[in-house]
Amino acid sequence: MRQGPLTGLKVVEFAGIGPGPFCGMLLSDLGADVVRIDRKGAGRASPSDITSRGRRSVGLDLKNPAATETCLKLMETADAVFEGFRPGVMERLGLGPDVALKRNPKLVYGRMTGWGQFGPYAQAAGHDMNYIAITGALNAIGTKDKPVPPLNLVGDFGGGALYLAFGLLAGVIHARETGRGQVIDCAMSDGAASLMSMFYGFKAGGAWKEERRANLLDGGAHFYDTYQCKDGKWVSIGSIEPQFYALLLEKTGVKDPEFAAQMKREGWDDLRTKLAAAIATKTQAEWTEIMGGTDVCFAPVLDLDEAPKHPHNVARQTFVEIGGVTQPAPAPRFSATPGAIQGPPPAIGAHDREALGDWGFSAADIEALQAAGAIGEPVGA
């Protein structure tokens, strides 16, 4: 039994990499019935494949006309479908939005790519770093010497998967109100640009310099940065507001009068050096005891082993362990309809008969698909 605020929502996911599976995970965690279309063939499930959790897998030979028809039949009863191929791939498979929307006019068809469905780069390969590079985001992140990729959080997951999930749900609301589906062109470059809205506002207002580590939120300010402790570990300090800054100086024992000029950019580098020296006198644990949970705006910088053990994360059960794998729990939280991890990552084709049967295919239909080679042998055969 699925649970969460999206219970009853039916979604078809065409298997992909990175942000596609993450979007499917988000929808599944909140209760949506997500059926993932995988390429037919051997494929074992791994408990560590966290972003594949919670949905059912149907393995299809997408070059087989019977498989194409199967996908279209699934789309007929789906609320939404999403894919992450280069523009034109789904059309060549006979599964493009024009065909799908004729079969189901209320369908919301999500298309996630790095560059979008049109534009000079639309057919070019790329990765997260490339997509955020043309938005101004990558240039703003890093050291003074060079831009540094912020993992693949800004493009793939922030600008891609989250915007796709947002777009799909907005499209479903519209379809339920009007009876009209539509196509969602979700480009990671568009999403990353959208995430930069506040910084373009800073730029327009004269509050942003085109230089890394020279601004309020990019590590340029001594009161918004990370500092190394006596034991080599790090802490994060974000004491922007005057009252929080005053508390920082109190907790660190800094009495240098030059710190009074908090917002004087010309002094930030010197003040950072002095604050770094103060922080280096104690261990991370000691600073956490002194400043943790206060209005300094402080937190220890934790690695992936340490984060699940932090008292705040433990209290909120932010991380869970399933199948021996520690992983983030569903987010956000709902008071009346809490989400849940709906199941482990599936093996390819593990739910051919179960999922197709639940979505309206008869036993005879499923046997015909097997005979045509569109799906594989029964699981366990």
Regarding whether 228 and 292 lie in a shared domain, the answer is: yes
- Calculate ∠ Cα 198-203-208, nearest 5°: 100
pLDDT above 90: residue 378: no
The C-alpha atoms of residue 83 and residue 126 are separated, in whole angstroms, by: 16
Residue 44 pLDDT class (50, 70, 90 cuts)? confident
**Per residue in 45-91, pLDDT tens?**
899 999 999 999 999 999 999 999 999 999 999 999 999 999 999 99
Give catalytic status of residue 351 as yes or no. Answer: no
The SS3 call for residue 4 is: coil
248 assigned to some structural domain: yes
Residue 77, beta-bridge partner list: none
pLDDT score recorded for residue 2: 93
- Cα separation, 84 vs 69, whole angstroms: 20
- Residue 276 covered by a domain: yes
- The active-site residue, picked from 33, 79, 128, 156, is 156
Neighbours of 270 (CB within 10 A): 12
Residue 216 inside a domain? The answer is: no
Is residue 52 domain-shared with residue 152, that is, in the same domain? yes
* Rounded distance between C-alpha atoms, residue 40 and residue 55, angstroms: 16
Domain membership of residue 52 (yes or no) is yes
pLDDT in tens, 168-201: 999 999 999 999 999 999 999 999 999 999 999 9
Same domain assignment for residues 296 and 326: no
Whether residue 96 sits in one domain with residue 181: yes
Strand order in the sheet with 10-14: 56-60, 33-39, 10-14, 80-83, 108-113, 182-187
pTM for this entry: 0.95
Same domain, yes or no: 177 and 33: yes
Nearest of 324, 314, 329 to residue 25 by alpha carbon: 329
Q: In this structure, are 30 and 154 located in the same domain?
A: yes
Residue 213 covered by a domain? no
Whether residue 363 is contained in a domain is answered as yes
- Find the mean pLDDT for residues 304-317: 98
Q: Does residue 365 have an active-site annotation?
A: no
Per DSSP, the chain holds a count of helices (H) and strands (E) of 14, 11
Among the listed residues 49, 127, 174, 365, the single catalytic one is 127
If asked whether residues 37 and 128 sit together in one domain, one would say yes
* Domain harbouring 269, CATH code: 3.30.1540.10
Domain hosting 100: range is 10-195+320-371
176 with 235, same domain? no
The number of folded domains in the chain is: 2
Mean pLDDT of 100-124: 98
188 and 241 in a single domain? The answer is no
pLDDT, mean of residues 330-343: 97
Are both 295 and 363 inside the same structural domain?
A: no
Residues 31 and 159 in one domain: yes
Q: What is the CATH number of the domain that holds 139?
A: 3.40.50.10540
How many whole angstroms separate alpha carbon 39 and alpha carbon 335? 38
On the CB side of 75, how many CA atoms lie within 13 Å of its CA? Answer: 30
Asked, for residue 110, whether it belongs to a domain, the answer is yes
Are 228 and 281 in a shared domain?
yes
Whether 264 is covered by a domain: the verdict is yes
